[in-house]
Structure 1
Amino acid sequence: MRRAAAAIDAVTEAVGALAALAVLALVVVMSANVLLRYGFSTGSVWAQELEWHLLVPISLLGMVWALKRGEHVRVDVLYAAYGPRLKAWSDLLAALLGLVVLAAMAWLSLAYVGQSWRIGEGSANPGGIPWRWALKAVIPVGCGLMALQYLAETLRAAARLKD
C-alpha cells in the first residue's frame, strides 16, 4: 500500500511542478500586462485572458500538490489533539469522502467539457483566446488527479491503521 501511495505522490510532485511553472508564467504575464497598460497605454484581450487561463491550472493542479503536502484545509486545532489512531481514522474518512465528491465532480463536468469541446468554444471577446474548451478540460483532469491523491491518502491511512 505504501509503495502505491509513493508512486501516486511522485505523480503529484510532477503536477505540483507544472502548477509552479504556471505561477511563474502568470507573474510574467501579469507584469507584462501592467507594464503595457500603464507604461505604454496598450494591451491585448488575449494577454488579459491568458491570466485566468493560467489561474485555472494553478488552482486545479495546485490543490493536488497542497493535499499531498498536508497544506489543505483541516481543522488543525482539533486534529492536533487526536492520537495517532484517531488521526488515521480521520484521514481515512476524509479521503474516502473526498474520493466520492471528486468522482461526482469529475463525472458531472464531463458533459460540460464535452459540449464546450464539440462546439470548439473560444472567447466571446474579439482577439481573445480561442481555446476555452481546453481550459474547461482541466476541470475533470484536476478532479481526477485530486481523486488519485486522495486514493494515496486512503492507502496511507489504511496502512497506519494496520500497523
Structure 2
Amino acid sequence: MIDNGIKYLGYFTALILALLVLLVVYDATARYLFSTGSIALQELEWHLFDVIILFGIAYTLKENAHVRVDIFYATYSEKTKVIVNIISSLFFILPFSFLIIYIGIDFVALSFSQNEASSNPGGLEYRFLVKALLPLSFAFLALVAFKDLKSNYIKWKSL
C-alpha cells in the first residue's frame, strides 16, 4: 500500500514538473518577448519547485535512487548493504523525519494563524499551503523508511 501511494506521489510530482516547465517557458516568453511578467507566476514557479523537491524525496528513497557513496556501497556484501540500510533508516532518516515533522507542524500552524502571504505586491496568498508540504513530505519519507527498515530487517534475518 505504501509503495503504491508513493508511486502515485511520484506520478503527481512528474505532472507538477511538466506544469513547471510550461510555466517557465510561458514566463520567459512573456518577459523577453513582450516585456511583461507576473510576480505571482514567478512565486508559483518556486512553489511548484518546492512540491517537486519535497515529494520527490520519498519517491527517490522508494526507488533506491538516493545519493550515497556508491564507490564504497557497491563493493559491500549483500549483508553489509542491508546493515548499512538498517542503520541509515534507524539513526538518520527516521529521526530527521520526525524532527522535521515535529518542528514543521508549529511552523505551518503559525503561518496559518497569521494568514501568511507573500510580501511582494501581486504575490501569492496562503503561503501556509506550501509550508504544509514540509511536514507532509517528511511523513511520506518516514513511511518509506519504515517500509524499507522492515524489508531490510527481513532480508538481514534470511542472510
TM over 0.5: yes
* Cα RMSD, aligned residues only: 0.8
Match of 1:136 in 2: 131
Match of 2:64 in 1: 70
Out of 3, 12, 16, the residue aligned to residue 9 of structure 1 is 3
TM-superposed deviation, 1:42:
0.5
Q: 2: distance between equivalents of 1:15 and 1:96?
A: 24
Q: Percent identity?
A: 33
Residue type of the partner of 1:61?
F
TM-superposed deviation, 1:54:
0.2
SS of residue matched to 2:65 = coil
Alignment coverage as a number of residue pairs: 157
Unpaired runs of 5+ residues, structure 2, are none
2:22 is the alignment partner of 1:28:
yes
Deviating beyond 3 angstroms after TM superposition, the runs of 4 or more aligned structure 1 residues are none
Match of 1:4 in 2: none
Q: 1: distance between equivalents of 2:82 and 2:2?
A: 19
Residue type of the partner of 1:111?
D
CA-to-partner distance for each residue in 1:90-110, whole Å, 9 max, x for gaps? 111111121111101110111
TM-score, length of structure 2 as denominator length? 0.96
CA-to-partner distance for each residue in 1:64-91, whole Å, 9 max, x for gaps? 1111111111111111111111111111
Residue type of the partner of 2:102?
W
Unpaired runs of 5+ residues, structure 1, are 1-6
Residue type of the partner of 1:134?
L
Match of 1:99 in 2: 94
TM-superposed deviation, 1:61:
0.2
Out of 77, 80, 90, the residue aligned to residue 86 of structure 1 is 80
CA-to-partner distance for each residue in 1:97-146, whole Å, 9 max, x for gaps? 21111101110111111100111111111111102110000000011001
TM-superposed deviation, 1:152:
1.1
Match of 2:104 in 1: 109
Q: 2: distance between equivalents of 1:78 and 1:19?
A: 31
Residue type of the partner of 1:48?
Q
